[in-house]
Structure 1
């Protein structure tokens, strides 16, 4: 998810879900503003979802590299560990309606990456630091206490972090699962994106932070998914969007409708991509890599990841990687087909790795 944020200086290769600004009207309404029709009200939700979010996690902060990282946990310490990692501009609660389905058999943790969710922002970000953060969270959350090393599960940009950690530190994990993880579009599309980004104006910079919205409804109306797609289940998109926001003071002289003097803005660092050092990951992307960590990739049948691959997008995944397709799903599988994702993960974990 991203809106009103600065795109980074475009590297040679970049992940699909990096923030790219779009003015109202540039995308279909169901893509541009999937929650606008609800006018700030909660969309109706099914019983399974209500049950899942009622399983409140323990919320804590873990110190890593001088930063406090937001961590959510479910299940008992002493059971095998699972670490969930979200995508770009997201947060730990993207897994809050998925993780409870594993809490009976696993000690589960979901972390907010540095610069996202309620985790601290940094002056710079790197894949190496994210890998150290994941290890710190796994230790603090008790994911090693079940008699084996934890399994990492990461979506999109978070899948990139999981893959990097699996290749760089195979001794730290039992296995790794990437969920709809890509490594940049084909060269022709990258050139097109660069041209489009050159034309973008009025995007926040270090001196012009993310926009502040006077009301929650206004902020929810600006929520959308990156890469652009419809929100398959609006009740999930709404749950995620509300937890993507924080209260902040309105600009001097402005007062919101509630008279509080506070508005709403996104919780992620708007300059995260400008601060991200991708050199370590780009070295991994140049060629296919080998690792002793068992790997699986789960992807959506309608995802742009698939489109990019068919068009010749690069991928460092090892040849012969086990892959599982989720039907009728775009990139954000936990929004489009959450129960199918749960079923795929549970079936996979019951028999893999051997």
Structure 2
């Protein structure tokens, strides 16, 4: 994969963003079931590590400005799930394998991590908590819609699966087309440029997006049954996000009475982009309090 240079004007970025993204993480890869999984790590060993999981069609770089804010006295990792970013593509995708990828990175950064996932990554975090909860200090699900109408979603998945990624003639042309989904997400130009230029790869004839369209066939946004995790869990939603209060309440009832529910004001679906400092403050508080994993559901 050809590395793309990042020469876009970020002069309008606030000082905190510039300082955070100037922190150089450690880069590494780990093999999981035959696929090379790329990850980035900030900070030094200390408290419980934090593992950040991106959403569908995104990548680890979406956490570049958040991870350093959490790295005081702990290691913070962000990985590219297979089919995303610089990680390998697979012939097929499923949440359970993505959860294995998360735990492979956990084996590198340290025991009892707090796992944080946004959107699709939130469902991967739920999967990880359901299967590996006893090994986690806690799990945070960030604006992941708890239920989706299956017929509509299946049709959309099939449409995306058949779609080929467009190739753009120049780096500037593809970066100018970058928009998160939903497309009306209010993002300043510096942030669109930063993320857009880090979400592409050079290919024959020009530039295209890094993700594999086949990820949409994984059923990542459909959860038929939630396995109650044996570690603390928090649901964070944006005030205008995809996880409604009703969805959050229903999911919390299914998980257990100790589930924490929080709302970030003045934010839509992409809380790490729209209110990154507020999200970082919440994650900091949760991860510090979850120094010891405790069961959230016990048999009577």
Contact persistence 2:143–2:241 (CA under 8 A): yes
2:162 corresponds to 1:162: no
Gaps of 5+ in 2: 1-7, 293-300
Classify 1:308/1:232 alpha carbon distance in 2 versus 1 (closer, same or farther; 3 Å).
farther
> Which whole-Å CA distance do the structure 2 matches of 1:99 and 1:79 have between them?
15
1:313, distance to aligned residue in structure 2 (A): 9.4
Contact persistence 1:114–1:130 (CA under 8 A): yes
Gaps of 5+ in 1: 1-39, 251-262
Match of 2:3 in 1: none
Match of 2:262 in 1: 324
**From 5, 18, 25, the counterpart of 1:57:** 25
> Which whole-Å CA distance do the structure 2 matches of 1:342 and 1:315 have between them?
26
Classify 1:283/1:184 alpha carbon distance in 2 versus 1 (closer, same or farther; 3 Å).
closer
Classify 1:228/1:307 alpha carbon distance in 2 versus 1 (closer, same or farther; 3 Å).
farther
> Which whole-Å CA distance do the structure 1 matches of 2:246 and 2:91 have between them?
32
**From 105, 115, 138, the counterpart of 2:73:** 105
Match of 1:284 in 2: 225
* TM-score calculated relative to the size of structure 2: 0.85
Query: Per-residue CA shift, 1:270-298, capped at 9, x if unaligned?
Result: 22223x2669x74425xxx4332110111
Match of 1:153 in 2: 116
Contact persistence 2:232–2:259 (CA under 8 A): no
* TM-score calculated relative to the size of structure 1: 0.72
1:42, distance to aligned residue in structure 2 (A): 4.2
2:210 corresponds to 1:243: no
Classify 1:139/1:209 alpha carbon distance in 2 versus 1 (closer, same or farther; 3 Å).
same
Contact persistence 1:223–1:241 (CA under 8 A): yes
RMSD: 2.9
The count of aligned residue pairs is 285
Match of 2:36 in 1: 68
Which structure's CA Rg is the greater one? 1
Contact persistence 2:46–2:73 (CA under 8 A): no
2:194 corresponds to 1:223: no
Match of 2:295 in 1: none
